[in-house]
Structure 1
Amino acid sequence: MKPIIAVTMGDPAGIGPEIIVKSFSKGALYDTCKPLVVGDASTIQDSIDRLGIDLKVNVIDKVEDAVFNIESIDVFDLDNVDLDQLELGKVSAMAGKAAFESVVKAIELALANKVDATVTAPINKESINLAGHHYSGHTEIYADYTDTKKFAMLLVEKDLRVIHVTTHVALRQACDMIKKDRVIDVISLLHDACVQFGIEKPKIGVAGLNPHAGDGGLFGTEDDLEISPAVREAIALGFNVEGPVPPDTMFAKAVQGYYDGCVAMYHDQGHIPFKMIGFKWDNENKIMESVKGVNITLGLPIIRTSVDHGTAFEIAGQGIASEDALDLAIDYAIPMAKNRILKSRDN
């Protein structure tokens, strides 16, 4: 049972097309799934040429025409990039429009059950907004186009699994969004995801918002008024959860396996420890040698996993981008897709 995995092209001016070509050129990928690209065929061909890889592009306009052959890359062609106008490493409305359209098409294919899961390459938020699509990221696009109200971002690298109560909002706004019901919803989403990953009774740590988790109200009241009641209710519902835990100790324990999953209150609280273990910086050559870790949107009616790095405009077109994170994102999408296929058959 090989699920069909749709990989969005990402911003054509960034490293998305390059890491896709590198990932698809590995024979092992086709042993476990049926991958195809949703985006602009000429952009993928350009990346193949730049990398000097012996691959062809199989241009399709419906999934049924994909051949899923290691000698070619199936591209669901949206024909939305003019290579003569494209500037690698530059923000542009054209690139933003192309990236946005590839995401929307992948969502449409998944909702129509034409593909079993979607994996997203990095987009540039400024380019997408220049194109007139006012979203703060993939998560919000997916939620909007699937009409999903309760969703959250989960980051996974090795034994660290971090879900976020808030994500792409100003820090001042994030503090106002920390509410009991939202924290409970996120705990539930994380628990269900861990079970899907094979953890029967996951232990979950919930981070505090303020220093020392508020220290009894000395450093803010959100921990006592919103987070603590949420944890107590989650325990009453049967979840194995602790909190609010000061994040400076919670994540240190989590990376050693004490927690199966962690709830972060805002974007950087969860992203910083995650990237500390997943990203490897080469200081001598001033490049990111490796970027690992997977971003999974929970709560959707379809599957979406992603790399958790940006478009890396500074190295676009140089052939040095790492495909590690994309490989991992696809690896996570495959068992999730298989699990969903089996459940649909049972129903």
Structure 2
Amino acid sequence: MSAATDSALPLLITMGDACGIGPEIIARLFRSDAARGCVVLGDVGVMRRAARLTGGALAVAEVERAEDAFTAPPLCLPVLQAQGLPADLLAAPLGRIDARAGAAAARCIAQAVALVRGGAAAGIVTAPIHKEALAAAGITFPGHTEMLQQLAGGVPVRMMLANAELRVVLVTVHLALRDAIEGITFDAVLETIRIAHAASARWGQPAPRIAVAGLNPHAGEGGLFGDEEIRIIAPAIAAARAEGIAASGPYAPDTVFMRARHAPPAHPGEFDIVIAMTHDHGLIPVKYLGVEQGVNVTLGLPFVRTSPDHGTAFDIAGSGRADASSLAAAVRMARTLVAGVSASSAPP
């Protein structure tokens, strides 16, 4: 078992955008047992402000090592101070796009990856960042997924959004819709199916039933409404099946999610994972079921990374009203995946 996958190691929670609700939902999380074994990588001052905004009575302590999370007393939020953050980060106004917050968020992510790859932590849970704040800071990545991919050496990755009822993996992510359609190729679809199949063993499904959604209305209706299903998607499914993967489709994207939804006993899902071609095709149905339980997982990385499925919520930042349910779900998912990695690394 490698150090990087040892479930006895702490989970890192990155602070996210200091002007959004990330620090506040983290502070709320640390008021319960859900944060046991977690340490925040961020700014001590920002986290102390978040503790005050969410009701006080929560000590915020700067720690020297990630493993100090296990020795922190109850109702204490341990913070590993990230290096190189803007000195005036606390001056960045809550609820506003600010380059200082974007720069700080990016530094926290980079340092978290370095720590987990160095064996200091079991995985990473990232609080929400703001894409415009990243851009204002000169960070060219459109989001976490692309940044993490680069920090991991450019390995193929895919975004999965999951809750208790649906798991959806995307072929394309943060692209304009015109560009996303161009990004749907045989290789991209097949690689997505392979990544989803390989990752599913981590949550206890070594042979998942994978439904592949089409791109066009009614999955193209035999070519009447577009031929991507015939030219690209169906051949990729056939190639995956030839490799022993239980993939099927392409299915009409407006109904496949209802078929896959797992809500027993009345509605056991027909599929374990749905592959969707574009960002909104896949994420709307998961988020409609409730963002409070949704988790974003980056598949294909050499380490575990999860995140809440919501954004920075600038409209309520600073009010102390932000709900930490999705962050708690992300921590639970990270622990499940870390345990799956550890089990698969153990000697037979």
- Matched to 1:77, the amino acid is Q
Q: Is the 8 A contact 2:237 2:249 kept in 1?
A: yes
Which residue matches 1:273? 285
Which residue matches 1:70? 74
1:335 aligns with 2:307: no
Q: Is the 8 A contact 2:145 2:298 kept in 1?
A: yes
Deviations 1:136-173 (A, max 9, x none): 10000000011133110011011200000000001001
Q: Is the 8 A contact 2:123 2:304 kept in 1?
A: yes
Q: What's the offset of the Cα at 1:42?
A: 0.5
How far apart, in 2, do the equivalents of 1:95 and 1:28 lie? 26
1:259 aligns with 2:259: no
1:243 aligns with 2:261: no
Structure 1: runs of 5 or more not aligned: 280-290
Which residue matches 1:35? 38
How far apart, in 1, do the equivalents of 2:9 and 2:117 lie? 15
Quickly say closer, same or farther: Cα 1:77–1:343, change in 2 above 3 A.
Answer: same
Please give the TM-score of this superposition, normalised by the length of structure 1: 0.92
1:48 aligns with 2:60: no
Q: What's the offset of the Cα at 1:342?
A: 4.0
Task: Select between 210-219 and 310-319 the one with higher mean Cα deviation.
Answer: 210-219
How far apart, in 2, do the equivalents of 1:84 and 1:182 lie? 42
1:133 aligns with 2:134: no
Tell me the SS of whatever aligns to 1:346: coil
Q: Is the 8 A contact 2:218 2:252 kept in 1?
A: yes
Match 1:171 to one of 167, 172, 177: 177
Q: Is the 8 A contact 2:89 2:100 kept in 1?
A: no
Matches within 5 A, 1:1-347: 2-30=8-36, 34-66=37-69, 67-78=71-82, 80=85, 82=88, 84-256=90-262, 257-279=269-291, 291-346=292-347
How far apart, in 1, do the equivalents of 2:316 and 2:177 lie? 30
Task: Select between 249-258 and 80-89 the one with higher mean Cα deviation.
Answer: 80-89
Identity of aligned residues (%): 40
How far apart, in 1, do the equivalents of 2:72 and 2:302 lie? 25
- Matched to 2:39, the amino acid is L
- Matched to 1:180, the amino acid is F
Deviations 1:35-59 (A, max 9, x none): 0000101000011112223221221
Q: What's the offset of the Cα at 1:84?
A: 5.0
Q: Is the 8 A contact 2:203 2:340 kept in 1?
A: no
Please give the TM-score of this superposition, normalised by the length of structure 2: 0.92
Tell me the SS of whatever aligns to 1:216: helix
Query: How many residues were matched structurally?
Result: 333
Deviations 1:195-245 (A, max 9, x none): 221124311110001111111222112111000100111111111111110
Q: What's the offset of the Cα at 1:189?
A: 1.4
Quickly say closer, same or farther: Cα 1:84–1:253, change in 2 above 3 A.
Answer: closer
RMSD: 1.6
Deviations 1:237-267 (A, max 9, x none): 1111111101111011111411100000000
How far apart, in 1, do the equivalents of 2:53 and 2:303 lie? 34
Tell me the SS of whatever aligns to 2:307: strand
Q: Is the 8 A contact 1:3 1:334 kept in 2?
A: no
- Matched to 2:247, the amino acid is V
How far apart, in 2, do the equivalents of 1:306 and 1:99 lie? 14
Tell me the SS of whatever aligns to 1:269: helix
Deviations 1:99-137 (A, max 9, x none): 111111111101101001000000000001110111110
Quickly say closer, same or farther: Cα 1:140–1:28, change in 2 above 3 A.
Answer: closer
Tell me the SS of whatever aligns to 2:32: coil
Tell me the SS of whatever aligns to 1:315: coil
Q: Is the 8 A contact 2:95 2:315 kept in 1?
A: yes
- Matched to 2:14, the amino acid is T
How far apart, in 2, do the equivalents of 1:98 and 1:10 lie? 8
Q: What's the offset of the Cα at 1:335?
A: 2.0
Q: What's the offset of the Cα at 1:297?
A: 0.2
* Higher-strand-fraction structure: 1
Which residue matches 1:287? none
How far apart, in 2, do the equivalents of 1:149 and 1:2 lie? 26
Tell me the SS of whatever aligns to 1:128: helix
